[in-house]
Amino acid sequence: MGRQINYYMEIDSFKMLAQKALDLGFVILKIISIETERGLYREERKQYQSLDEIDFCAHSKKYFFHLEEAGEIIFHNSFMDICKSPVIEAGYSEISTNKITSNRLWVSTGYYDDAGNFINRSDILDKKYAALVRYAKKLLVYTTIPLRFPNGQVHTYKGYITPYLLDLMNTTENECLP
């Protein structure tokens, strides 16, 4: 369960969103799953307090904004529990082979503890998530976006996209994927 805004956003606009998160007091986490010798996976986490430290050219298009004042990250079996941790998932679109993928800004509504009680996310995380959504909407336009599904059918829907990607889609062969 959670709240989210889906969008099509290129890396330059995402960097502005990430900088806004840093300005609001978040640290940026990049999580990479690494296969071990036995075929299992482990999680490697990197934490950033400046955009200059991040290699945005790496394969990861998804990041987490951690609000330390809202609490510590919770782990389950050595992996971050994104529902229990005070984090916001964020990412940018991949643009390749005439296709543009979507991404989102997402935060968990809360979680159930071991006794079955629902624990809401913290008020401070909620307020800062709302501030990030307002900022993201300033970077995006809300318009009709045609989507091509794998079966070749095209459907349109109202959604958020950056002006750059909208222009790219309208002037080239690039298409948005659901």
Cα 167 to Cα 148: distance, rounded to the nearest angstrom: 17
Decide if pLDDT at 140 tops 70: yes
What pTM did the predictor assign? 0.90
Give the C-alpha distances (Å, rounded to integers) separating 176 from 157, 162, 165.
11, 12, 9
Q: How confident is residue 150, by pLDDT bands cut at 50, 70 and 90?
A: confident
Number of domains comprising the chain: 1
Name the residue range of residue 89's domain: 2-138
Reported as a single tens digit per residue, the pLDDT across 74-108 is: 988 778 899 999 999 999 999 988 889 999 999 99
Q: Is residue 78 part of a domain?
A: yes
Single out the residue of 73, 88, 90 nearest to residue 128, CA to CA.
88
Q: Is residue 156 part of a domain?
A: no
Q: Is residue 116 part of a domain?
A: yes
Single out the residue of 93, 122, 128, 96 nearest to residue 110, CA to CA.
122
Q: Are strands 2-8 and 154-161 parallel, antiparallel or unpaired?
A: parallel
